[in-house]
Amino acid sequence: MRTHLLTALTSLAMALTAGAALTRAHAQPAPLAAPSKAPPCPAVLQQTAARLQDEKPQSLCQYSGKVVVVVNTASFCGFTPQYKGLEALHDKYQSRGLVVLGFPSNDFSQESGSNKEIADFCESTFGVKFPMFTKTSVSGKDASPLFKQLASTTSTPPRWNFYKYIISRDGSAVTAFNSMTEPGSSKFLAEIEKQLAKP
């Protein structure tokens, strides 16, 4: 009788031990999925620029993986109404991965205001919501590193206000358009559609 009791107790203990081990095995957390990697930052975007509204430094690498339109702007130019088209462009395509980046410049003597005055003008006159940066030199030996690189890549430095550069998602292709090219022109939109279609 005692032998049977000991055998039963031993069997019960073994079953409980096995059950506890099984419970621990099931309680182990599943391995975490590897976080999705951010796209590498193209060389052309490895720059820092100060935001127009508060002059805080911003890394342009935050736009990695997007199709980027860079444009040098001015408040007192015959092409200044292009702000409206640029904002419409940004609004239409941003959900597909487009961003417009505006860089006011006085290189052509048509942007004399302070950064605050430029910000107020852009917002109140044209409702600009796309990212804008502080007044920047875009041509010649004093051009910012970004515009030097754009000019070098395309052999087309800005020769007036509202030159536009379309940068592909991976930064491997940069296409330049002069001031006469409206943001809504067919050739400009065709290049944007082409770049947005690429993964």
List the structure tokens of 65: 């993986």
What burial letters (b/e) apply to 139-151, b meaning 16+ CB within 10 Å? Answer: beeebbebbbbbb
E-only strand ranges, the chain: 48-50, 57-59, 67-73, 98-104, 164-167, 174-177
* DSSP 8-state secondary structure symbol assigned to residue 74: -
The rounded distance, in Å, linking the Cα atoms of 43 and 107 is 25
Helix (H, G, I), strand (E, B) or coil at 41: coil
Asked if 122 is an active-site residue, the reply is: no
| Catalytic residue selected from 41, 61, 77, 122 | 77
The rounded distance, in Å, linking the Cα atoms of 146 and 82 is 22
List the structure tokens of 158: 């800005």
List the structure tokens of 195: 């770049």
The rounded distance, in Å, linking the Cα atoms of 53 and 134 is 8
Active site members? 77
